[in-house]
Chain A
Amino acid sequence: MGTVAAHGLRKSFDKVQALDGVTLDVPDGSFFVVLGPSGAGKTTTLRAIAGLEKLDAGSVHLDGRDATGDTPAARDLAMVFQNYALYPRRTAYENIASPLRARRCSSSEIAAAVDRMSSLLHIERLLQRRPAQLSGGEMQRVALARALVRSPRAFLMDEPLTNLDLKLRVEMRTELTRIHRSLGATFLYVTNDQVEALSMADQVAVLKEGKVQQVGTPTEVYERPANRWVAGFVGSPPISLLACRAEGDRLVGAEGWTLPRPRWTTAEDGRALLLGLRAEDLSVEQRGDAALPGELYGLEPLGDRTVVDVRVGTEILKVKARPTVTGTQGERLQVTVDLDRAHLFDAGTGLSLSRAGR
Chain B
Amino acid sequence: MAVSIDEAVSPGPVRDHTAPAPRRGGRGRSVLELALLVVLAAVMLFPALWMLETSIKENRDVYAIPAKFFDFTVTLDHFRDVFVAPGGGRSAVSVSFLNSVVVAGVSTLLATVLGVPAAWAYSRFSVKAKKDQLFFILSTRFMPPVVVVIPIFLMYRQVGLIDSKLGLILIYAAFNVPFTIWMMKGFVDEVPPEYEDAAMLDGYTRLQAFWKFTLPLLVPGIAATAVFALIFSWNEFVFAIFLTSSDDVRTAPPAIAGLIGGTTVDWGLVAAASVVFALPVLIFAYLVRKHLVAGVTLGAVRR
| A positions within 8 Å CB-CB of B | 47, 50-52, 71-73, 77-79, 81, 83, 85-89, 98-99, 101-103, 131-132, 146
B71 contacts the other chain (Cβ, under 8 Å)? Answer: no
Residues of chain B within 8 A of A72, CB atoms compared: 197, 200-201
Q: Are A78 and B201 in contact (CB under 8 A)?
A: yes
Is B192 a contact partner of A73 (Cβ separation < 8 A)? Answer: no
Q: Is the CB of B203 within 8 A of A85?
A: no
Decide if B195 touches A50 in the complex (CB within 8 Å): no
| 29 pairs, CB–CB < 8 Å, chain A vs chain B | A47-B197, A51-B200, A71-B205, A72-B197, A72-B200, A72-B201, A73-B200, A73-B202, A73-B204, A73-B205, A77-B201, A78-B201, A83-B194, A83-B303, A85-B194, A85-B197, A85-B198, A86-B198, A87-B199, A87-B213, A88-B302, A89-B216, A89-B300, A102-B202, A102-B203, A102-B204, A103-B203, A146-B198, A146-B202
User: Could you tell me the distance between the alpha carbons of A51 and B197 in the complex, rounded to whole angstroms?
Assistant: 9
Q: Which residue of B lies closest to A97 (CB)?
A: B202
B195, B203, B300 pick with most chain A CB within 10 angstroms: B203
Given contacts A79-B198, A83-B192, A89-B216, contact A132 B302 (CB under 8 A): yes
Answer whether residue B301 sits at the interface, using C-beta atoms and an 8 A cutoff: yes
Q: Which residues of B contact A131 (CB under 8 A)?
A: 302
Inter-chain contact total with CB atoms closer than 8 Å: 65
Given contacts A81-B197, A81-B198, A85-B197, 20 further A-B contacts (CB under 8 A): A50-B197, A71-B200, A72-B200, A73-B202, A79-B201, A83-B192, A85-B192, A85-B195, A88-B195, A88-B217, A88-B300, A88-B302, A89-B217, A89-B300, A99-B203, A101-B202, A102-B202, A103-B203, A132-B302, A146-B202
Is the pair A52, B200 in contact by a Cβ cutoff of 8 Å?
yes
Tell me whether A50 and B201 are in contact in the complex, defined as CB-CB below 8 angstroms, given that A85-B195, A87-B213 are known contacts.
yes
Q: Give the contacts of B285-303 with A (CB-CB under 8 A).
A: 300-303
A52 with B205: CB separation less than 8 A:
no
Instruction: List B contacts of A99 (CB < 8 A).
Output: 201-203
User: Closest CB of chain B to A66's CB: distance in Å?
Assistant: 19
A99 to nearest B CB, angstroms? 4
B residues less than 8 Å from A83 (CB atoms)? 192, 194, 303
